[in-house]
């Protein structure tokens, strides 16, 4: 708290920017989205962000694994055009 009085007006603008960015991030994380109106510390937001990114990375790995098994068992090429079409139309 002591150091706050030494800060220039420039860095308090940066503080607001950081607060904004942190709350934007808080909104993206499922764990924290329900606590929108609570005061969540920046440290907690960053911590949960790290956890969330790690879980997304794991999901990508699991899905890649699943796809590699599935590619081994499917041989039909004709349904691919149908898949592409229906995915792009969503």
Give the binding site for another protein (CB under 8 A): 3, 11, 14, 17-18, 21-22, 24-25, 28-29, 41-43, 46-47, 49-50, 52-54, 56-57, 59-61, 63-72, 74-75, 80, 83-84, 86-88, 90
Q: Map tokens 């139309």 to a residue.
A: 89
Q: Which of 4, 14, 11, 22 is nearest to 32 (CA)?
A: 22
Least separation in angstroms between CB 74 and another protein: 6
Phi, psi of 34, rounded to the nearest 5 degrees: -75, -15
* CB of 35 or CB of 59, closer to another protein: 59
* CB of 8 or CB of 38, closer to another protein: 8
Alpha helices by DSSP H, 29-77? 30-33, 42-73
């Amino acid at each position: 708290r002591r150091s706050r009085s030494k800060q220039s007006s420039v860095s308090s603008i940066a503080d607001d920017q950081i607060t904004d960015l942190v709350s934007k991030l808080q909104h993206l994380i499922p764990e924290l989205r329900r606590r929108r109106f609570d005061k969540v510390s920046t440290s907690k937001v960053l911590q949960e962000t790290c956890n969330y990114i790690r879980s997304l990375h794991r999901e990508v790995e699991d899905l890649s694994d699943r796809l590699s098994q599935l590619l081994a068992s499917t041989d039909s090429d004709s349904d691919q055009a149908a898949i592409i079409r229906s995915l792009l139309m969503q």
